[in-house]
Amino acid sequence: MAAPSSSVTTPSQGVHRVKFAILGGGISGLTVGRLLRAAGHTIDIFEKDEIIGGLCKTANFDGFLLDEAGGHILYSKLPEALSFMVDSIGPDQLCQRERKTKIYYRDGLWVKYPFENGVGQLPPQDRFDCLMGYLEAYWQRQQPNATPPGNFHDWVLYRMGQGFADHFMFPYNEKIWKIDLKQLSSSWVEGRVPEAPVEDIVQAAVGLTTEGYTHQSHFQYPISGGFQALTDAIGAPLADVIQAGTAVESVQRDGEGWKVNDARYDFVVNTMPLPEFLKVLQGVPAAVNQAGDALVYRSLASVLIGLNHDEIPDYSWIYLPFPEQGGANRITYLSNYSPGNAPEGCASIQAELTFAGPNPVDDAYVDELAATYERIGLLKRSDVIRKGFKTVKYAYIVYDLDFYQKLDQSLGWVDRQGIYSTGRFARFDYFNSDQCVDSALKLVKQILADVERG
Ligand SMILES: Cc1cc2nc3c(=O)[nH]c(=O)nc-3n(C[C@H](O)[C@H](O)[C@H](O)COP(=O)(O)OP(=O)(O)OC[C@H]3O[C@@H](n4cnc5c(N)ncnc54)[C@H](O)[C@@H]3O)c2cc1C
């Protein structure tokens, strides 16, 4: 395995070496651990699960692999983060894949994704609704006082119009977010949903080919071991300092430093979900705890359906926007990511569904889902030889209307205590794993500068 590149340097001779407690052994905690250790500091990583990796973990059901927090792909616009990840596992351990995605529309129709580019494939009435609505919305946006609405429901109408809303955006987003879309802020879509030029929409609607955004057109995935192979590789040199199966139960001030469970540290780097961290941190004001508890998130169930043949569509994943297509919003053809994800001659699909509160998925639910997929033509139940599921509690951040206020009250307070926080749910930020690595790289640079300053 090649040594990951990083621009973080070892402290100069005589610089005080400090002891860090890193809370959480997901990709954020492991990356911070690698870099701090490379810089000569002492670290312990506390991970409550027996297996490191957090949301990047992969389960194995008799040779059928399942990425526990939904099918994960490796791609990035962040060169330093990407090379850290690729170098950690080794480039020869990765499959190169072209992203092929579709929307499974009503009546068995396959439509291009992004939906705006597939509009020409819709039935005539739906195509008309989308085009007309888009032009009306476009015209409204040219008016002098037009401003983007703050809630997601109205933002969709403002940006895309009624047809796109009814035929895709509303049903799909209701399925994922499980919240009245008027209660969702439009802030989370900024920069995520590029505005399609009106010419592209008209072209697509009359049946001319358009592609939409292409930055995820290719991706990488570990040849064996599922996405978790990546976090396994990042964590491998840290085996002696990872305390797997050790939950952080208490974090409290101890003079200039901190006590984590019973051990003393100079600094704490938190990567655990913020609401969980606030529960174990001593001396948190009630208002801060309340704000942290009020942060809204969605949990995820990932369902594996293993097939006794490998004749599956050539897609990476497909979107299922409508309720009659079952509870999952996305199906990943995980065995297309790497042949190592299913036994030889077999294939797998992975369905992902979000939930709020208690887990609705059990064996009966999985059977029902398979029956739905048979009904809509995605598989034959007689071909299914393995089923299974995994759930994760913290999966999606819900940017409800007072999200930033709650975050400022809770995370803002933690930041002011001199505790470092990084990671998707430690900062409640919509990070993919590459962004977690990027943030960890930046944080460690900041920490090293802080340490150097004494
Ligand atoms: C549906 C979905 C799809 C995604 N797809 C992609 C993708 O395709 N590509 C991509 O790059 N990223 C993807 N991501 C994002 C990626 O999974 C995350 O950004 C990343 O894994 C977060 O890592 P983390 O270390 O910040 O947090 P986590 O992985 O959540 O790590 C936090 C760790 O803290 C531990 N912990 C919690 N409580 C305690 C405690 N009391 N004591 C000790 N440890 C504790 C947890 O067990 C966990 O291991 C996806 C995420 C989801 C939900």
The lowest-confidence range among 57-66, 269-278, 444-453 is 444-453
User: In the chain, how many domains are there?
Assistant: 3
Does some domain include residue 102?
A: no
**Which is it for the CA torsion 416, 443, 56, 214, positive or negative?**
positive
- Please give the full DSSP string across 308-325, using - where no structure is assigned: SS----S-SEEE--SGGG
**Predicted model pTM:** 0.95
- Tens of pLDDT, residue by residue over 145-168, are 999 999 999 999 999 999 999 999
Q: Is the peptide bond before 114 cis (omega within 30 degrees of 0)?
A: yes
User: Ligand 1: distance of its center to the CA of 452 in Å?
Assistant: 30
User: Do 264 and 389 sit in the same domain of this protein?
Assistant: no
Q: Mark whether 302 and 287 lie in a shared domain.
A: no
* Alpha-carbon span 92 to 178, nearest angstrom: 40
- The alpha carbon of 211 and the centre of ligand 1 are apart by a number of angstroms equal to 31
B/e letters for 62-86, b = 16+ CB within 10 Å, e = fewer, are: eebbbbbbbbbbbbbebebbbbbbb
Copy the structure tokens of residue 201. Answer: 């929409």
Q: Tell me the CA–centroid distance for residue 340 and ligand 1, in Å.
A: 23
For residue 315, the enclosing domain spans: 297-397
For the chain, how are helix, strand and coil distributed in percent, rounded to 5? Answer: 40, 25, 35
pLDDT at 448 > cutoff 90 = yes
Euclidean distance between CA atoms 369 and 365, whole angstroms = 6
Are 236 and 320 in the same domain? Answer: no
Query: For residue 210, is it within any domain?
Result: no
Tokens matching residue 187: 């802030």
* Residue 103 placed within a domain: no
| Pocket lined around ligand 1, Cβ cut-off 6 Å | 23-29, 46-49, 54-56, 69-70, 72-73, 247-248, 271-272, 276, 300, 352, 395-396, 423-425, 431-434, 436
pLDDT average, residue stretch 405-421: 98
Render pLDDT for 34-52 as a digit per residue (tens, 0 to 9). 999 999 999 999 999 999 9
Residue 258: inside a domain, yes or no?
A: yes
Domain end call among 374, 397, 420? 397
Which two structure tokens, joined as six digits, stand for 63? 């040779």
* Strand blocks (E) in 214-311: 218-222, 242-244, 251-254, 257-260, 263-265, 267-270, 297-307
d(CA 117, CA 190): 19
Closest residue to atom 6 of ligand 1, CA basis = 72
How remote is the C-alpha of 264 from its chain's centroid?
A: 33
